Amino acid sequence: MSTTKNYHWRIAGFYFFYYAFVGMFSPYWSLYLQSIGFGAIEIGILMSIQPVMRMVAPGIWGWLADHTGRSREVVVAAASLSALFYLGVFATTSFWGLFLVLTLMSFFWSASMPLVEATTLSWLGKNTAHYGRLRSWGSIGFIVSVVGLGYAFDHIAIAWLLWAGLVCEVGILIFARQIPKAEVLAHHTDHLPIKQIVLQPRVLALFGACFLMAVAHGPYYTFYSIYLVEHGYSKGVVGMLWALGVICEIGVFFLMPALVKRFGFTRILLASFAAAVLRFLFIGWAVDIVVILLFAQVLHALTFGSYHAASVGLVHQFFQGRHQSRGQALFGSVTYGAGGMLGGLASGPIWQHWGASVLYTFSAGMALLGLLLMWWKLRNMAESRAPVA
């Protein structure tokens, strides 16, 4: 790490544009789909394509990266094809046309992040607790995107969203070409099949709990913006609320080295799951009470910021050596992929038939199940603390 300091900004640039794309897509894509005439179930299906691809694609690309030892080249190829297929959003507004375009784009878009996560943690070496500070640039990209677009869409047509996505895709491609090559160090688990690592009870518990956390967030990413707009909030305010959560997330990322040193990854995760239960209940039942809604967004610091940094850190501890890329890819597939898919697909019918309060109570219930699973299997885990430089 110390000999290649320039890579800090190259990795940071990738995170910035990757999560700027998320800041474009998660809050506003559902509003764009609504603007071109799609209903709740169609929106739920189209918004679930990305999680489906995050379930299917990372395992394939992770295997390819570990098998060839050319992780950076795989990331560049995936970023190139993602940008190419994204261009299809300019050519169609039909359900099946967008279904095809989003499927192809997401298959390649979702491939790169687990590989970059593994590369980043490998590059950090013994300083993995500082991962959050690098990852915070992704949060900054998200804020720039979500706030800027939120205010823009109070004055311009939501269709301009398509061009914002293209800028993000080009940025991802530029910085994909700049990241360092992943350094794979020999580890005593290299001779084991990856299945043997996955089937450890503590690994299964972590994956299962994080799967439930992703299910819990599905309604948030699918319908939160629509929910707020229907309750009288402007798109600019919607953007500010999304940004508030991410600003708090950045603060936690910078505190992670001290938090990890004091509490360890497992206790941080337990606190994150407990906060998610409260947050989704607040969103579901107090949307018209601004102070409570603001507090719910502050809790994003725990429900995503500390949660993400701690879960990625634990996965890095469990999967090392030649398994590191596939470990991160498998984690992304099971959690953000399968969990996000289930949460997104369930959102449409629940929203349509029972309303938003029931939908976000469902989210709180999923987070509670994840908390109980973590408490059952991981609370007494004698984990090694991540070194803090």
Residue listed under structure tokens 């004091």: 262
At residue 2, what are phi and psi to the nearest 5 degrees?
-70, -20
Residue 383 confidence (pLDDT) above 70: no
Rounded to an integer, the average pLDDT of 119-138 is 77
Tens of pLDDT, residue by residue over 164-192, are 999 999 999 999 888 877 665 544 455 56
User: Do 325 and 62 meet the contact criterion of CB atoms below 8 Å apart?
Assistant: yes
CATH architecture of 7-183+192-378: Up-down Bundle (1.20)
Angle between helices 356-378 and 235-285 (to 10 degrees): 70
Residue 313 confidence (pLDDT) above 90: no
Tens of pLDDT, residue by residue over 216-265, are 999 998 889 889 999 999 988 988 898 899 899 899 988 988 998 899 89
The residues, ordered by sequence, that sit 6+ positions from 258 with a Cβ below 8 Å of its Cβ are 388
Compute how many other C-beta atoms are within 10 angstroms of the C-beta atom of residue 152: 18
Q: How far is CA 161 from the centre of its chain?
A: 20
- Could you tell me the pTM of the whole model? 0.77
Structural domain spans, the chain = 7-183+192-378
The two tokens of residue 332 are 């992304």
Rounded to an integer, the average pLDDT of 68-73 is 78
